[in-house]
């Protein structure tokens, strides 16, 4: 199976899971990235079942609207039963590193409101043991997030206590947020592998 086929399979499994478990007329939180895009496409045939969606980025909003979904501002929404999003890495405790698509700030805000975070990832995303090295920040050239911020990609960090590290980085003056999703981890991981989801 190609990586895209794995992403598609896991996105379809998430759409099926949401359809089976979300109340009729629910508003679904939708993440950002190529796997989230496959999820939007998989959710689209069941659109009448949902009142609409909350998007974690402008790209996601456009794709949802392209499929005819009503996209709500988070401030106008009472409840989000499910938030579905991809991840760059995820470990066995379902702590994630996200932000590859640069939408981490809104993703974290929507995820915080959602009752259940469903992470959709293919098997290449499972975290390997990280080397015990200091981080090397590199400015992501030519990129500004939807919220007008720049991103530093940090490689080589030893993430021993993801929750503590997430909080610690957030306390650095000038940091808006970071891509560690450990304080609000996923509740469920649907993992696409060559043997199935």
Q: Active-site residue numbers?
A: 107
Q: Which stretch binds ligand 5RP (CB under 6 A): 94-102, 108-116, 127-135, 162-170?
A: 94-102
Bridge partners, 55 (sequence order): 30
The reply on whether position 149 binds ligand 5RP by CB under 6 A is: no
Residue 22, φ and ψ in degrees, nearest 5: -80, 140
Name the residue nearer to ligand 5RP (CB basis): 33 or 52.
33
Kindly identify the residues of this chain, within the stretch 26-55, that bind ligand 5RP according to CB under 6 A.
31-36
Question: Pick from 46, 43, 85, 80: which is nearest to 64 by CA?
Answer: 43
Q: Which range, of 63-71, 75-83, 97-105, 169-177, touches ligand 5RP by CB under 6 A?
A: 97-105
Distance of alpha carbon 37 from alpha carbon 32, whole angstroms: 7
The structure tokens 């470990």 sit at 91
Which listed residue (87, 114, 190, 191) binds ligand 5RP by CB under 6 A? 87
Question: Which of 110, 124, 95 shows the shortest CA–CA distance to 55?
Answer: 110
Q: Is residue 106 a contact point for ligand 5RP (CB under 6 A)?
A: no
100 binds ligand 5RP (CB under 6 A): yes
98 contacts 84 by C-beta, under 8 angstroms: no
- Residues of this chain that bind ligand 5RP (CB under 6 A): 31-36, 85-88, 98-104, 107
């Amino acid at each position: 199976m190609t990586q895209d086929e794995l992403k598609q399979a896991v996105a379809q499994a998430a759409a099926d899971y949401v359809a089976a478990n979300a109340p009729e007329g629910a508003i679904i939180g939708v993440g950002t990235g190529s796997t989230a895009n496959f999820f939007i496409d998989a959710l689209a045939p069941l659109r009448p079942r949902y009142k609409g969606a909350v998007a974690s980025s402008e790209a996601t909003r456009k794709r949802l609207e392209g499929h005819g979904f009503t996209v709500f501002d988070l401030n106008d929404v009472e409840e989000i039963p499910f938030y579905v999003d991809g991840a760059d890495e995820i470990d066995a405790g379902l702590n994630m590193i996200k932000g590859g698509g640069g939408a981490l700030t809104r993703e974290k805000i929507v995820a915080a409101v959602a009752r259940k975070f469903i992470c959709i990832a293919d098997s290449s995303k499972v975290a390997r043991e990280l080397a015990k090295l200091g981080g090397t920040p590199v400015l992501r050239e030519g990129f500004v997030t939807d919220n007008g911020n720049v991103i530093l990609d940090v490689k080589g960090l030893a993430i021993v206590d993801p929750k503590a590290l997430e909080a610690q980085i957030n306390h650095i003056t000038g940091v808006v947020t970071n891509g560690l999703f450990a304080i609000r981890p996923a509740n469920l991981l649907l993992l696409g592998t060559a043997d199935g989801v």
